[in-house]
Amino acid sequence: MTQSISTKTILKALGTASLFGACLASAQAEDSVTIYGRVVAGVDVQSNVHQANGATGTQVRAASNQWGTSMIGFKGKEDLGGGLNSFFLLESGFGATKGATNGPELFNRRSYVGLNGSAGSVKIGKNLFIDNDVWFLDPTGQQWIGTANLVHGRNWGGANNIIEYQTPTWGGFNATFQTSLGEKAGSTTKGRKDGVSLVYENQGLELRAIYDLVRDANGKYGSIKTNQDGTTTAGNVYDSSKELILGGTYTIDKLKMYLGYENLKAPDVAPGSTDKVNHYWIGANYQLSPALTLIGSVFHVNANNNGGSANLFMAGLNYNLSKRTLLYVGAGTVRNSGAGTFSLEADEAGAPLAGQSQTGGYFGIAHSF
């Protein structure tokens, strides 16, 4: 009898240990660190590129980030129990054709840590600025011929010192709030950015609204800036302004349609300078086959006070050789009017002279891991 009880006790203890071990293994499996990234490279051609001597000419160059940014990143999470997780993300963008990073920082795109639970998620650190949510409204997926071109990159920036909160999704509705602290002694507004991004999704419909404030070193929108040497630099609507983006997408079977509007206002610019910009676009993606997607889009911008206007046309295709390897082609033309110097691609170094048009495109390979 004693021997029987002893055996049962041992078996029970072993069972308990096995159960604990299984739970521990399960918890460890839910904690993870992942290395991910993408390498993009190809060939690019643009006409009427402004040169240092004042002339213009056609430029042929390696295409580094035209389809999308090459990047490498590290992300991880830990299950804290009770539906609460901690997480982090470190991400650096680079140009594959020269091997140079997109900025001097080690992690020039994102570096944040946060918590996620039933009440939503909080991030603290460095992130893309909230108006990068225009990506969801861009028919090109924010390629170098896309929504950034006709606003001189205003909707394509990063943000340091961020505190960000994202709500849970309720009935298809979700909101994100972000502030980027200016960290200037004696002021809570100088160099500060704030924004909110709202989204509603229901079956094939997606609606978005983004509103943000980017203030200059004076805490204003486009004001004259005093440099360290005592000289002044005029601010502009593309550097610091109030921005409103509205738009939506609708998917019907293999067709996804896009519609967007963007408005910029900078009330503190010098008198007579451009203080209002209106930007519109429409486009579509069509999945011709499981591997092949066709892209088409039209953009228009109008800047007041002789800021110029322009029409941008883009056509492209993405062809997936596999789940990780993609071939891309993008081509287009920009037609400037008046004093407009809007470029065909987001790279400002390739801008034309005022009123000139540009035509060109790029092709290449993107591999994700």
Q: What is the pLDDT of residues 106-148, one digit of tens each?
A: 999 999 999 999 999 999 999 999 999 999 999 999 999 999 9
Distances in Å between the Cα of 205 and the Cα atoms of 173, 175, 251 are 12, 17, 7
- The residues pairing with 232 across neighbouring beta strands, listed in sequence order, are 226
* Cβ(191)–Cβ(184) below 8 Å: yes
What lies within 8 Å, CB to CB, of 51 at 6+ separation is 57
Pick 116 or 54 by higher pLDDT.
Answer: 116
Task: Provide the number of structural domains found in the chain.
Answer: 1
CATH code, domain carrying 102: 2.40.160.10
Q: Does the pLDDT at position 232 exceed 90?
A: no
Instruction: Give the C-alpha separation, 285 to 296, whole Å.
Output: 7
pLDDT of residue 13: 38
**What is the reported pLDDT for 331?**
98
Per-residue pLDDT of 265-297, as tens digits, reads 999 999 999 999 999 999 999 999 999 999 999
pLDDT band at 347 (very low <50, low <70, confident <90, very high): confident
What pLDDT does 21 receive? 42
Q: What is the pLDDT at residue 53? A: 84
Q: Is residue 68 part of a domain?
A: yes
> Considering the domain boundaries, does residue 56 fall inside one?
yes
Is there a domain that residue 348 lies in?
yes
180: pLDDT strictly greater than 50: yes
Which residues in the chain belong to E strands, given as ranges? 32-50, 56-63, 70-81, 84-95, 100-101, 110-117, 120-128, 158-166, 173-180, 193-202, 205-214, 225-226, 232-233, 242-252, 255-265, 276-287, 292-303, 308-320, 325-337, 358-368
Average pLDDT, integer, range 158-182: 97
- Residue 72 resides in a domain: yes
Q: What does the alpha-carbon distance between residue 173 and residue 106 come to, in Å, rounded to a whole number?
A: 35
Per-residue pLDDT tens over the stretch 94-112: 999 999 999 999 999 999 9
315 within a domain of the structure (yes/no): yes
User: Is 25 inside any structural domain?
Assistant: no
Looking at residue 7, its pLDDT comes to: 42
Confidence band of 226 (pLDDT split at 50, 70, 90): low
Cα 301 from chain centroid (whole Å):
20
The boundaries of the domain holding residue 207 are 35-368
Q: Which H/E stretch holds residue 295?
A: strand 292-303
What confidence tens digit (pLDDT) does each residue in 191-203 have? 999 999 999 999 9
For range 231-235, the mean pLDDT: 82
On average, the pLDDT of the chain sits at 91
